[in-house]
């Protein structure tokens, strides 16, 4: 049987492909610490559960394709609270930020088209782009620049007749880089001048340590070019709720995207009700307290990791990830070793090998994405395990 | 800004595009009866809500990409109870049957490929196929044959070097046709002989009035060719829960599909917990009672509709839809009239114009898809309103 060339361009997720090995380790009685996946341990706010428990209907009915009014209106008010004026009709409700990305890519990409993406990048972007027949052209960045990419001389030479969009994650996953307002302004200028879309994945919007708070919605003159991908997953620590949004003032984009949204009928009804309550009942104080918690975690992990010999990274500015170079030949091999051979007092640790974050895996061979989504003391222990694991891995020879 | 040719091949859903007009009618105080959408009024079983209420976790975490073990195992046992032996790894959990279709199409279809689909067909199939760059080649059927399509002489002349799959809905939406076991056997023979996939959308599996209960999973020799699309939506009257499955014993298909599933991370966690409870706690007696209710509804609507002069249809064998020819020039115009101009005692009715169910809209111009998902007395009133509406529409002249 034949499979499409497009799906064959995709790969299994480098974040998720270790899951069977993790399960096997757990079955052997090993406790696995996680610095590999963006699953915060922060409690999902009780208002989410309460809103779902209070659902009074007898039937869990289809929601409207663009989203339930209660949710869309809650999202609109959330943006309004940030100072961004968007209309209800500018918002489509999706199955998490992931589906918003799938939808927008399907709307704008043709076979042979190219999307510019600052590298290293979230690996699932490759799937969302490749499945349309298009491909990612990386914007190379470096640890020395703190993974910042908003420079004309870096981006403009990469734009050609196949370029359709620039896709950014801001705050950045996996780099933790956050655009300054001037950099954000420049990105809008570039897409306007070259008539491109700017797809801005802003699911970590509130988790910024540098004081920057730009969203691409802050630039009304970019309205026709900007599409913002958003989600309640990380914002309210409910990754399994799968409620996101695609927001754009480009009416034609929303019209085209609506076709796909109507095709798959609707996002989940109860989750939308829960997500509406999150936006309606939790404001700036909530986001401030979450940011304080992540600030503590960042401090804990940065402090611990700086003590590990041979580990290199630049301090993250936002989100809860960063890239680190580890003193091993191949971080993927290290990860298999950590799950299959290593343990210390019955414990081991997972990180995410960096290869999957680069178009050319070789560039990330010695790198790892570190996620800091657990309590400070757990992070300290996780880094300790990583240090011991690296020592054991290098000692046994490869 | 440019949009992809693929998305421009798609259209707004003919089922959903009247939603703004319906909303306007409701805002004018009109009560709208529904024979247009597959939203049953049967209560979602309380076990669904209970399972979600009993979720004891503090954090709504990501589920595994292929689905939570509790749900996948529940689905596996459900199939086992029907006599179909599938392994856990044969099942991927999706956002409803819709996403299962999106995923399988992305796996197997290339630009220029063709999928055979018995016509009239579920309009969203056009979206799922077109967005890959492929297209639907209709297998023409007729009311005179009860919309049955499993005939070698009908199908084989349509197969060419571009054909990759046959996509069927069984029991049928919008036709209500149900394959006999011999017909199902023939479909498997055809895909085996021509090395095609058979994508079988079986979300209405239990709603069959003719005693036939075949699933394409009943033919082990078709294992490499068959992919079954399934969902809890219609089976348990929880369309807003968005939990479906893609089931195939073709390991390579599951491997390719897993890439897409990992890309979008996971289906919604709480809905999977609720859906697992539905499969685990509701058995054949539940499905029997639902079938009895639909049998009453079918009887009510068929009886009422047979009294309307000029309306033609063949009795449905399964699901809760059928196609009817109405005595008007254009059912789409009729639908706008019903929502914008007509009412009887403050009430009106919606049906779904048939044009969207045909590759050539002209073929369905005078047809409607009738859904019977409300109580018998409501259906009787809905048909009465349809009759009055048709009279008023024809009287005013067009």
Each residue's pLDDT tens digit, B45-92: 999 999 999 999 999 999 999 999 999 999 999 999 999 999 999 999
Per-residue pLDDT of B250-277, as tens digits, reads: 999 999 999 999 999 999 999 999 999 9
The answer, for B193 touching chain A at a CB cutoff of 8 Å, is: no
Instruction: Spell out which residues of chain B touch residue A4, defining contact as CB-CB under 8 Å.
Output: 106-110, 132
Calpha distance A66→A78 (Å, rounded):
17
Question: From its phi and psi, is residue B346 left (phi > 0), alpha (psi between -120 and 50) or beta?
Answer: left
Q: How far apart are CA B242 and CA B231, in angstroms?
A: 8
Tokens describing residue A76 = 């609109």
Using a 10 angstrom Cβ sphere, with 0-12 exposed, 13-18 middle and 19 or more buried, the burial of residue B281 is middle
The predicted complex's ipTM stands at: 0.94
Q: Look at chain A and count its residues.
A: 398
Cβ-based contacts of B42 with chain A (< 8 Å) = 59
Of B229, B237, B238, B228, whose CA–CA distance to B270 is shortest?
A: B238
Is pLDDT at B19 greater than 90 in this prediction? no
What's the whole-number mean pLDDT along residues B111-116? Answer: 97
Cβ–Cβ gap B62/A48 under 8 Å: no
Q: Cβ–Cβ of B42/A59 closer than 8 Å?
A: yes
First to last CA, chain B: 39
- For residue B151, pLDDT over 60 is answered with yes
| Minimum Cα–Cα distance from A129: chain B residue | B263
Per-residue model confidence (pLDDT) at position B285: 97
Q: Which of A197, A259, A270 is nearest residue B271 as measured by Cβ atoms? A: A270
- The Cα–Cα gap between A105 and A97 comes to 12
Chains A and B form CB pairs within 8 A to the count of 241
Rg (CA), chain B: 21
pLDDT of residue A49: 98
> Under an 8 A CB cutoff, do B5 and A39 touch?
no
CB B202 within 8 A of CB B233: no
- Would you tell me how many other CB atoms lie within 10 Å of the CB of residue B11? 16
Whether residue B294 lies within 8 A of chain A, CB to CB, comes out as no
Q: Which residues does chain B have within 8 Å of residue A72's beta carbon, measured at their own beta carbons?
A: none
Angle at B77 between CA B204 and CA B64, to 5 degrees: 90
- Which of A95, A196, A226, A274 is the best residue to mutate to test the B interface, defined by the most B CB atoms within 10 Å of its own CB? A95
Cβ of B108 within 8 Å of Cβ of A263? The answer is: no
CA-nearest of A211, A144, A202 to A173 is A202
Find, among B106, B70, B265, the residue nearest to A16 by Cα. B265
Distance CA B131, CA B397 (A): 39
Q: What is the pLDDT along chain A (398 residues), one digit of tens a residue?
A: 889 999 999 988 877 778 889 999 999 999 999 999 878 889 999 999 999 999 999 999 999 999 999 999 999 999 999 999 999 999 999 999 999 999 999 999 999 999 999 999 999 999 999 999 999 999 999 999 999 999 999 999 999 999 999 999 999 999 999 999 999 999 999 999 999 999 999 999 999 999 987 899 999 999 999 999 999 999 999 999 999 999 999 999 999 999 999 999 999 999 999 999 999 999 999 999 999 999 999 999 999 999 999 999 999 999 999 999 999 999 999 999 999 999 999 999 999 999 999 999 999 999 999 999 999 999 999 999 999 999 999 998 75
User: To probe the interface with B, which of A8, A9, A16 has the most B CB atoms within 10 Å?
Assistant: A16
Q: Which positions 269-288 of B are in contact with A (Cβ < 8 Å)? A: 269-271
In A119-148, the residues whose Cβ lies within 8 Å of chain B are 124, 127-128, 131-133
Chain A residues 326-365 within an 8 A CB cutoff of chain B: none
What's the whole-model pTM score? 0.95
**Which residues touch A373 (CB under 8 Å, ≥6 apart)?**
A34, A37, A38, A39, A40, A41, A42, A297, A320
Q: Which of B10, B240, B266 sits opposite A61 (nearest CB)?
A: B240
């Amino acid at each position: 049987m034949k499979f499409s060339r497009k799906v064959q361009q995709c790969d299994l997720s480098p974040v998720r492909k270790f899951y069977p090995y993790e399960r096997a380790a757990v079955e052997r009685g090993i406790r696995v610490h996680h610095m590999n996946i963006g699953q915060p341990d922060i409690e999902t706010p009780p208002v989410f559960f309460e809103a779902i428990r209070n659902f009074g209907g007898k039937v869990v009915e289809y929601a409207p394709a663009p989203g339930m009014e209660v949710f869309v209106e809650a999202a609109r008010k959330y943006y309004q609270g940030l100072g961004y004026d968007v209309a209800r009709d500018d918002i489509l409700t999706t199955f998490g930020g992931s589906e918003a990305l799938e939808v927008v890519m399907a709307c704008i990409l043709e076979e042979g088209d190219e999307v510019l993406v600052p590298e290293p990048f979230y690996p699932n972007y490759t799937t969302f782009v490749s499945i349309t027949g298009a491909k990612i052209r990386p914007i190379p960045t470096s640890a020395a620049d703190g993974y910042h990419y908003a420079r004309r001389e870096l981006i403009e030479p990469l734009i050609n007749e196949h370029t359709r969009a620039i896709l950014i994650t801001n705050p950045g996953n996996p780099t933790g880089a956050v655009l300054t307002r001037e950099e954000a302004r420049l990105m809008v200028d570039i897409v306007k001048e070259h008539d491109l879309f700017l797809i801005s994945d802003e699911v970590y919007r509130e988790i910024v340590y540098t004081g920057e708070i730009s969203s691409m919605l802050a630039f009304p003159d970019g309205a026709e070019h900007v599409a913002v991908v958003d989600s309640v997953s990380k914002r309210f620590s409910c990754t399994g709720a799968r409620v996101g949004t695609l927001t754009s003032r480009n009416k034609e984009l929303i019209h085209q995207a609506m076709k796909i949204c109507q095709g798959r009928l609707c996002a989940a009804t109860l989750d939308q009700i829960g997500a509406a309550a999150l936006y309606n009942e939790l404001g700036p104080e909530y986001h401030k307290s979450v940011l304080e918690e992540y600030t503590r975690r960042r401090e804990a992990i940065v402090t611990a990791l700086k003590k590990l010999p041979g580990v290199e990274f630049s301090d993250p500015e936002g989100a809860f990830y960063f890239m680190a170079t580890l003193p091993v030949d191949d971080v993927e091999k290290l990860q298999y070793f950590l799950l299959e051979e290593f343990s210390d007092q019955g414990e081991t640790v997972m990180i995410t090998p960096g290869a999957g974050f680069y178009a050319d895996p070789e560039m990330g061979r010695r790198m790892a994405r570190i996620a800091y989504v657990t309590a400070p003391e757990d992070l300290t222990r996780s880094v300790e395990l990583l240090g011991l694991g690296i020592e054991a891995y290098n000692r046994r020879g490869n």
